[in-house]
Chains A and B, each alone.
Chain A
Amino acid sequence: MINFSLLQLGDALRSKKISSVELTQLYLDRIAALNPELNAYITVNEEMTLAQARAADAQLKQGEGGALTGIPVAQKDIFCAAGWRTTCGSKMLSNFVSPYDAHVIEQFNRAGAVNLGKTNMDEFAMGSSNETSYFGIVKNPWNHKTVPGGSSGGSATAVAARLCAAATGTDTGGSIRQPAALCGISGLKPTYGVVSRYGMIAFASSLDQAGPMAHSAEDLALLLNVMAGFDERDSTSIKCETTDYAQDLSKPLSGLRIGLPKEFFAAGLGADVARAIEASIAEYRKLGATVVDVSLPNSRLSIPVYYVLAPAEASSNLSRFDGVRYGYRAPEYTNLADMYEKSRAQGFGEEVKRRIMIGTYVLSHGYYDAYYLQAQKIRRLIAQDFSDAFKQCDVIMGPTTPTTAFNLGEKGDDPVQMYLSDIYTIAVNLAGLPGMSIPAGLGDSGMPIGLQIIGNYFDEARMLNVAHQYQQVTDWHTRMPQHVKA
């Protein structure tokens, strides 16, 4: 059952082979057994979860409900969920029980999904290893000495270790795709604006986008059907025609033009990763695709640009955490300024503070033009590179990460080394394009490798088709970490 696809689970629920309560309990038991070691979840609330499962069963009994009714889904702890503690991986919000639902949560509730719990993450989504969480590191289920990636590391681990049927993530610079790659699962970051950001705690508003994380492209399509949609509460939410993201899954790939950016295969790419990506491309050729060389000449600038823009927005977004209306307030302070400084110094972790400092600096008087404005201009150049490339191809492919999962603690002392691990994913966020990662092999150490697929704006259905066809002829996405089999 834990290896069922969402469609299979739906069938099992509707045909009463299993009830939602039973299915949910199955996952809750797995969480109870495995989570102490993996730490994928920050908050589990059996009572609230089972109440939702019972409601789903009642619906199913009436023959009602939708594609996800009764299916247990884990939610990244960045989404506000009414009545749920919502921490964003921070001490700052360690006692914050959200009074409202994020749009994404509402959508899952409406679809009848069961909220299995809130998954661990880098604090305020700032990190690539899930080591910055106030609630402790998350372990990669393939090798407990390695990181699951971040910031949606808890969700990636939960999916990979079969601690949920599917999960949500958010991606500002690669936070869905990178952990998906490192944990051997599928993850999709939609076009900016496709999923409402309402109720999703902001990191870098112009880059943040929520998306699904699951075992297969087919599952991702079903999840995206639930998550996507116009929301009037988010000014950047885009009114696009409601699409069934699963409609094109089975289309043949003959004639598909795959662009390979030479910059993604240059120095710095691990040899085992390169081999796996090349093998996947060969697989695509067999499926009828043709390959063209493309260039993204400015993509090397995406890291410096990102580390100006994202911290700038974050420094402002995180100003609301002042200990006044909610969140952590220092126990002792002498005056207002002291209360602010102590609450924020104690409530935020090192990486968050570091990024607030960077962001405050680049926006401050005298530096704005040289840093922020310059970064915004190069952002346009980076986006332009993609639109030029898409004149020659339908999708762009390459590695999601330069290497397989690195060891816990390996890059902890050197933020710059950590930042460089997002070299292939960041440009996609800067351009606002959709990107995904699917399992495409195992590296020298037996750890998963992700193939990144980048589509043009609003081309999610096509990307899912491309990923699904690959998953029809390969089995990387069905591989399971050795010691989580239960």
Chain B
Amino acid sequence: MKWEIVIGLEVHAQLSTSSKIFSGASTAFGAEANTQACAVDLALPGVLPVLNRGAVERAIKFGLAVGAHIAPRSVFSRKNYFYPDLPKGYQISQFDLPIIGQGALTICVPETTTEKAYEKLVRLTRAHLEEDAGKSLHEDFRGMTGIDLNRAGTPLLEIVSEPDMRSATEAVIYAKMLHTLVRWIGICDGNMQEGSLRFDANVSVRRPGAELGARREIKNLNSFRFLQQAIEYEAQWQIDTLEAGGKVQQATVLFDSDKCETRAMRSKEDAHDYRYFPDPDLLPVAIDADWIERVRKTLPELPLAKRARYVADLDLSAYDADTLTSSREMADLFEATLSEVPGEAKLCANWLMGDVSASLNREDRDVAHCPISPQQLGGVLKRIVDGTISNFAAKEVFKTLWSEGGDPDVIIEEKGLKQISDVGTLEAMIDKIIADNAAQVAEYRSGKEKVFGFFVGLAMKASKGSANPAQMQEILKRKLSNQK
């Protein structure tokens, strides 16, 4: 019998504000312990929170990007529990009146068996603002834990999905899509190593069509790989448990990435009773239509819209459009390059997804740090389009630009990479090749047409890649067979 896996995600995105959500302390990552924990973050007696406009604005941006309702009035509540990394003994969060209401995100999931992909709508329940907690450091204190409160008070947007995903792969694609989106609209730096994006996965299994099963929540996953592994392990564990006649009980679990398994938390937070109530230190947050419109104007074209436009207007394949919209930097680079060689979308796409991506990968750089500017790349492509250089020569120019920089036209000139289209010059060159390679000529003429490639190689080499390939091949063929 088959099982259906049901997954909902809670994604915590650290918002890219300079200061904290309720204090004027810096949110910069990596500072020495507790040097960015101010009186408010430390919950000294008597301190009070004041809300950061930048955090609210980022939440609005996100709401607009996922077509969600933006609450004209939302409320901050206190979530009460004791934990040493939570200085006030409560977390300021939002409970029954979150800033962002229902929205949706379309994900594109590749089929494993075919080349095709299917689209799926993942509904967002809500997104709300809250403060991050500090960090507990366990090493080296003889049975003690050290608390660093630099992170305490960093603004978080918690994005909650409906249980709409049916596989670990769907969950990961949804998570990646959010990762792209939050960076795209500039509300989160998306730095996974620094914990800027963290996931809680609610996993349950059921027979298709049956009621939802009891869910277990896997807490605090900080990479796509762990997300995938944890869900896969957890779902299989639940299936095994049920098939063995056992029961799954609602629980909070942690993922042990070393053992690659989930386990129930040891510290049973006895019967979670968070005693939410509206924070009396903060007033309701009002967002008027004007503000929403002002923020809307600052939003860039969103990845899905761009992707659709690339397919419809630029005639690119869905695959190309997907790849080019995988990050805003990539899309920006593509569009800037395209503006240098208008109408050559496919050529730009091929180069970006080919040589540019390969070179970036080789050097482990991201697009934002591409050493070649769109003007330089466009300059090379322009010369391919107008026939000045061959594709082969263009690669040569690209390599030089990558390592040394410079102006494409100057490089073409200096290296003598202009295509030779003069028939006389080409014929003389090919005559010499034929004369020098009698044995291979004989082979070719005896019917071994594979040897043709050998002659093409020699001709390209002799012309330093500057021979017009089509013309050169035509002459080669003619000369080789003429003398048959």
Q: Which residues of A contact B (CB under 8 A)?
A: 79-80, 86, 88, 93, 96, 98-100, 102, 197-202, 204-206, 232-236, 312-313, 315-316, 318-322, 324-326, 336, 340, 360, 363-365, 368, 372
Q: Is the CB of B49 within 8 A of A324?
A: no
The answer, yes or no, to whether B178 is at the interface (CB within 8 Å) is: no
The answer, yes or no, to whether B283 is at the interface (CB within 8 Å) is: yes
Q: Is the CB of B282 within 8 A of A235?
A: yes
Across the interface, A319 reaches (CB within 8 A) one of B89, B276, B277, namely B89
Q: Is the CB of B48 within 8 A of A233?
A: yes
Q: Is the CB of B283 within 8 A of A324?
A: no
Across the interface, B275 reaches (CB within 8 A) one of A99, A234, A363, namely A363
B49 contacts across to A, CB distance below 8 A = 235
**Distance A313 CA – B78 CA, assembled complex (angstroms):** 10
A100 contacts across to B, CB distance below 8 A = 39, 44
Q: Is the CB of B44 within 8 A of A86?
A: no
B147 contacts across to A, CB distance below 8 A = 324
The answer, yes or no, to whether B424 is at the interface (CB within 8 Å) is: no
User: With A99-B39, A205-B281 in contact, do A198 and B48 touch (Cβ < 8 Å)?
Assistant: yes
If over half of A's interface residues share one DSSP class (helix, strand or loop), that class is named, otherwise mixed; here it is loop
Most buried by A among B45, B46, B90, B275: B45
Chain A's closest residue to B42 (CB) is: A325
Q: Is the CB of B281 within 8 A of A236?
A: yes
Across the interface, B48 reaches (CB within 8 A) one of A197, A204, A321, A360, namely A197
Most buried by B among A200, A201, A363: A363
The answer, yes or no, to whether B82 is at the interface (CB within 8 Å) is: yes
User: With A200-B46, A363-B277 in contact, do A320 and B87 touch (Cβ < 8 Å)?
Assistant: yes
B90 contacts across to A, CB distance below 8 A = 316, 319
Chain A's closest residue to B144 (CB) is: A336
Across the interface, B46 reaches (CB within 8 A) one of A80, A316, A322, A365, namely A80
A99 contacts across to B, CB distance below 8 A = 39, 44
Chain A's closest residue to B89 (CB) is: A319
Q: Is the CB of A372 within 8 A of B48?
A: no
Q: Is the CB of A316 within 8 A of B82?
A: no
B339 contacts across to A, CB distance below 8 A = none
Q: How far is the CB of A2 from chain B (nearest CB, A)?
A: 31
Q: How far is the CB of A95 from chain B (nearest CB, A)?
A: 13
Q: Is the CB of A322 within 8 A of B82?
A: yes
User: With A200-B46, A234-B48, A235-B51 in contact, do A319 and B88 touch (Cβ < 8 Å)?
Assistant: yes
A197 contacts across to B, CB distance below 8 A = 46, 48
The answer, yes or no, to whether B80 is at the interface (CB within 8 Å) is: yes
Q: How far is the CB of B268 from chain A (nearest CB, A)?
A: 11
B117 contacts across to A, CB distance below 8 A = none
Q: Is the CB of A96 within 8 A of B283?
A: no
User: With A235-B281, A312-B277, A319-B88 in contact, do A202 and B80 touch (Cβ < 8 Å)?
Assistant: no
Q: Is the CB of B42 within 8 A of A96?
A: no
The answer, yes or no, to whether B405 is at the interface (CB within 8 Å) is: no
The answer, yes or no, to whether B47 is at the interface (CB within 8 Å) is: yes
**Distance A47 CA – B51 CA, assembled complex (angstroms):** 39
Chain A's closest residue to B143 (CB) is: A335
Across the interface, B47 reaches (CB within 8 A) one of A198, A204, A318, namely A198
**Distance A202 CA – B282 CA, assembled complex (angstroms):** 14
Across the interface, B45 reaches (CB within 8 A) one of A96, A232, A313, namely A96
Across the interface, A365 reaches (CB within 8 A) one of B51, B273, B281, namely B273
Interface 1/0s, chain B 257-299, versus A by CB < 8 A? 0000000000000000101110011110000000000000000
Complex A-B: 28 CB contacts under 8 Å? A79-B46, A80-B45, A93-B45, A99-B44, A100-B44, A102-B46, A197-B46, A199-B46, A199-B47, A201-B46, A206-B280, A235-B51, A235-B283, A312-B277, A313-B280, A315-B275, A316-B78, A316-B90, A316-B277, A319-B90, A320-B87, A320-B88, A320-B89, A321-B45, A324-B84, A336-B145, A363-B277, A365-B275
The answer, yes or no, to whether B385 is at the interface (CB within 8 Å) is: no
**Distance A321 CA – B51 CA, assembled complex (angstroms):** 23
User: With A319-B82, A324-B147, A360-B275 in contact, do A198 and B46 touch (Cβ < 8 Å)?
Assistant: yes
Chain A's closest residue to B82 (CB) is: A340
Chain B's closest residue to A325 (CB) is: B42
**Distance A86 CA – B88 CA, assembled complex (angstroms):** 18
> What are the 8 closest A-B residue pairs judged by CB atoms, nearest first?
A319-B89, A363-B275, A206-B280, A205-B280, A199-B46, A320-B43, A201-B45, A80-B46
B78 contacts across to A, CB distance below 8 A = 316
B88 contacts across to A, CB distance below 8 A = 319-320
B222-275 residues at the A interface, CB under 8 angstroms? 273, 275
A201 contacts across to B, CB distance below 8 A = 45-46
B42 contacts across to A, CB distance below 8 A = 325
The answer, yes or no, to whether B50 is at the interface (CB within 8 Å) is: yes
**Distance A368 CA – B95 CA, assembled complex (angstroms):** 14
**Distance A273 CA – B90 CA, assembled complex (angstroms):** 44
Given contacts A80-B45, A320-B87, 20 further A-B contacts (CB under 8 A): A80-B46, A96-B45, A98-B45, A100-B44, A201-B45, A201-B46, A205-B280, A205-B281, A206-B280, A232-B50, A235-B51, A235-B281, A236-B281, A313-B280, A315-B275, A316-B80, A316-B89, A319-B80, A319-B90, A320-B88
Q: How far is the CB of B274 from chain A (nearest CB, A)?
A: 9
A363 contacts across to B, CB distance below 8 A = 80, 275-277
Q: Is the CB of A316 within 8 A of B275?
A: yes
**Distance A80 CA – B88 CA, assembled complex (angstroms):** 17
B47 contacts across to A, CB distance below 8 A = 198-199
Q: How far is the CB of A323 from chain B (nearest CB, A)?
A: 10
Q: Is the CB of A88 within 8 A of B45?
A: yes
A368 contacts across to B, CB distance below 8 A = 275-277
**Distance A100 CA – B46 CA, assembled complex (angstroms):** 10
**Distance A326 CA – B45 CA, assembled complex (angstroms):** 9
Chain B's closest residue to A80 (CB) is: B46
**Distance A313 CA – B90 CA, assembled complex (angstroms):** 12
**Distance A147 CA – B82 CA, assembled complex (angstroms):** 36
B51 contacts across to A, CB distance below 8 A = 235
Q: How far is the CB of B38 from chain A (nearest CB, A)?
A: 10
Q: Is the CB of B275 within 8 A of A364?
A: yes
**Distance A347 CA – B49 CA, assembled complex (angstroms):** 26
**Distance A360 CA – B276 CA, assembled complex (angstroms):** 11
Q: How far is the CB of B51 from chain A (nearest CB, A)?
A: 7
User: With A206-B280, A324-B84, A324-B147 in contact, do A80 and B44 touch (Cβ < 8 Å)?
Assistant: yes
Chain B's closest residue to A336 (CB) is: B84
B41-76 residues at the A interface, CB under 8 angstroms? 42-51
Q: How far is the CB of A8 from chain B (nearest CB, A)?
A: 33
A312 contacts across to B, CB distance below 8 A = 277
**Distance A57 CA – B90 CA, assembled complex (angstroms):** 46
Most buried by A among B44, B49, B80, B87: B44
